[in-house]
Amino acid sequence: MALPRTPGSSPVPAPGDLLAHPRPSLAIDVAVLTVVPEGPDGAPALAVLLLRRDAAPKAGAWGLPGSFVRERERLAGAVLRTLADKCGISGLAPRQLHVFDDPGRDDRGWVVSVAHVDVVPVERLEPALAARDDLALAPIAPRGTNGAGATSPVDVPGRQTSLPFDHDEIVALAVDDLRERYRAAPDPGGLVREPFTFLALRRTHDAVIGEPQQKDTFRRQMLPLLVEDGEIARGGVGRPARLYRRAADGPRVG
Amino acid sequence: MALPRTPGSSPVPAPGDLLAHPRPSLAIDVAVLTVVPEGPDGAPALAVLLLRRDAAPKAGAWGLPGSFVRERERLAGAVLRTLADKCGISGLAPRQLHVFDDPGRDDRGWVVSVAHVDVVPVERLEPALAARDDLALAPIAPRGTNGAGATSPVDVPGRQTSLPFDHDEIVALAVDDLRERYRAAPDPGGLVREPFTFLALRRTHDAVIGEPQQKDTFRRQMLPLLVEDGEIARGGVGRPARLYRRAADGPRVG
DNA sequence: GAAATAGTGTCTTTAAGACAATATCAG
DNA sequence: CTGATATTGTCTTAAAGACACTATTTC
């Protein structure tokens, strides 16, 4: 077998020898989205998890968690490992969004990154957020309404006006993906603990989609995708609401 | 700088040295879809371009065109190069579908492949198809209607019942993606030469989507996305139809 | 009973599906 | 004029939006 060559030596592969190909570094980035109970306007709102970079390029800047994929590791596994190792968070079910392949996107070399989105209830982020100062939840800017000439879909903390690399684009893709899924099904990201009332479900959808959903239309759309459970009584002030769970054919269980 | 290591030597990266990471081979696969004038039932129908493999694994079997990404090459560029080099075809605008990252998907080693879809008018495939016998257009099986116990969405030529690797899955994703886009906009793949009549447009949509579109509903949906052109007279037998082009805000121009 | 929230009824508006009438050409 | 296709009108049906009414609890 031929010896492994340095990447970029010979563009012509020796047949049968995979290692002869120049190979890129493979990375993942992940936009962890959640709903915070108090957004900028007091109502629940979408937010994204940011991490202060300590590594080489753009050290000190806020960006999305990401890392290189290890040998024979699955992409989803790399995302979950990154969240666990770098953020102390147990993620759930990463979804692929897009591959960013611009050869000039990283000064360090040829890095191809697969962008992901994951959705996590805010309770699972709070311990890590409270314990560390290099983690932050940044609110999603409500569509083009962004301070000054910032082009980021995120209200980045501090003086920073945008996210490094393609992270602004990744957040935009992640938000679009999540909104599309929340228009079609009840809480596909598992943000609401089961069983839940229709009010809790609708408040979450309002926050994700960014605008209030019609009470009755929303009920009629989502009802066929839910199964009833029991009753809630204590706690609320008005008439007790029925409790529901996502129908079995629905997506992942939180 | 540290010497490049063989992939798989050290899973712990030396900080600052990108080359120290084990790196996968990066590949692309592409499902080239088109509409052939005479499908299995005589009507125009969707088909996918297959290539007979000559390389190492599954040599002789029909599969999708694909190849390894070269150094600093864009993914879309690798797709277009593959179509040009291996199929003698000039592709148009590849779209990413999904990253296949199962470490066991290729016996030769750690290969991560980005699946793509591209849409090409059949006229641009015909010269290559006529000149070579390792290229074929396979009809898309109309939803689950597949000979015997075949699980492939493709009617693969010969005795083959499915495509190698994840190619069956790629074709299914490609067809779903194309159908979704054709439900929303007039001929986003540029299959019909401009200017076109409503009949030509609808026949193409019928073929892509796999079932006939309502004549009047289709017209009402697509009309706002088109701009008028002139008139057609010669050729047809009935009343001449107006000619249209895709509206400027539409997608790529063929 | 008053306040608050849950759940349902129904009217209006909009869009799709279906069918058919009218328009305009070649022969 | 006949046959063929294009284009438009309209009726029916289904769904969404909007509004309001009734129901059931806590205080």
Among B43-52, B93-102, B160-169, the minimum mean pLDDT is found in B160-169
Record: contact A103-B72, CB cut-off 8 A: yes
**Is there a contact between A71 and B26 if contact means CB atoms under 8 Å apart?**
no
Inform me whether the pLDDT recorded for B84 exceeds 90.
Answer: yes
Q: Per residue in B94-119, pLDDT tens?
A: 999 999 999 999 888 999 999 999 99
CB contact under 8 Å between B109 and A6, yes or no, is no
pLDDT in tens, B135-152: 999 999 876 555 555 567
Q: Which residue of A has its CA nearest to B75?
A: A101
Residue to substitute from A1, A101, A107, A177, interface B, most B β-carbons within 10 A: A101
Whether the predicted pLDDT of A2 surpasses 80: no
Instruction: Please tell me chain B's helix, strand, coil percentages from 3-state DSSP, rounded to the nearest 5.
Output: 25, 25, 50
- pLDDT digit string, tens, across residues A62-121: 999 999 999 989 999 999 999 999 999 987 899 999 999 999 998 889 999 999 999 999
The stretch B195-224 carries a mean pLDDT of: 93
- Structure confidence at residue A249 (pLDDT): 61
- Please give the DSSP secondary-structure letter assigned to residue A134: S
pLDDT for residue B176? 95
* Strand D close residues, chain A 97-136, CB < 7 angstroms: none
What are the tens digits of pLDDT across the range A138-182?
A: 999 876 555 555 667 888 887 788 898 899 999 999 999 999 999
- Choose among B19, B56, B99: nearest Cβ to A99: B99
pLDDT higher than threshold 80 for residue A233: no
Q: Dihedral sign, CA of B183, B39, B147, B102? A: negative
Strand D: which bases are under 7 Å from protein Cβ?
3-10, 16-20, 23-27
- Contact flag A101-B4 (C-beta cutoff 8 Å): no
Please enumerate in sequence order all residues whose Cβ is within 8 A of that of B152, keeping only pairs 6 or more positions apart, or say none.
Answer: B141, B146, B161, B162, B163, B168, B171
3-state class (DSSP) for residue A180: helix
Q: A98 contacts in B (CB within 8 Å)?
A: 96
Closest CA to D27 C1' — which residue? A237
- Which amino acid belongs to residue A74? R
Residue A31 DSSP one-character state: E
Per-residue pLDDT, B145: 55
Supply the mean pLDDT for chain B: 86
pLDDT of B18 > 80? The answer is no
Q: What is the pLDDT of residue A108?
A: 87
Closest C1' nucleotide to A239's CA: D25
Q: Which protein residues have their Cβ less than 7 angstroms from some atom of strand C?
A: A 197-199, 215-216, 219, 236-242; B 214-217, 220-221, 233-234, 237-240
Query: CB of residue B241 closer than 7 A to nucleic acid strand D?
Result: yes
Q: What percent of chain A has pLDDT over 90?
A: 65
Q: What is the mean pLDDT of chain A?
A: 86
Instruction: Judge whether B57 is closer than 8 Å to chain A, CB to CB.
Output: no
Q: What is the distance in angstroms between the Cα of A13 and the nearest Cα belonging to chain B?
A: 9
Predicted pLDDT at B230: 78
Residues B181-192 pLDDT 10s:
999 999 999 999
Interface contact flag, A103 B26, Cβ < 8 Å: no
Round and report the angstrom distance from CA (B141) to C1' (D20).
Answer: 52
The pLDDT of residue A3 is above 80: no
Task: pLDDT band for A225, please (50, 70, 90 cuts).
Answer: very high
Q: Determine the Cα–Cα distance for residues B41 and B45; give it in Å rounded to an integer.
A: 9
Angle (deg, nearest 10), helices A167-184 and A198-209: 150
CA distance B180 to chain A (A): 14
- pLDDT tens digits, residue range A98-114? 999 999 998 889 999 99
Q: Looking at the whole model, is its pTM more than 0.75?
A: yes
The share of chain B scoring above pLDDT 90, in percent, equals: 63
Query: What does the pLDDT read at residue B39?
Result: 85
Nearest chain A residue to B24, by CA: A23
* Chain B residues near residue A69 by CB distance under 8 angstroms: 24
Lowest mean pLDDT among A166-175, B21-30, B46-55, B236-245: B236-245
- CA separation, residue A233 to residues A126, A204, A227, A229, A230 (Å): 28, 21, 19, 13, 10
Cis-peptide into B212, omega within 30 deg? no
Burial class (CB in 10 A: 0-12, 13-18, 19+), A88: middle
Bases of chain C below 7 A from a protein C-beta are 3-10, 16-20, 23-26
- Are the beta carbons of B84 and B90 closer than 8 angstroms? yes
User: How far away is chain B from the Cα of A230, in angstroms, using its nearest Cα?
Assistant: 39
**pLDDT computed for residue A232 by the predictor:** 81
What are phi and psi for residue A26, nearest 5 degrees?
Answer: -105, 125
The nucleotide lying nearest B240 (C-alpha to C1') is: C25
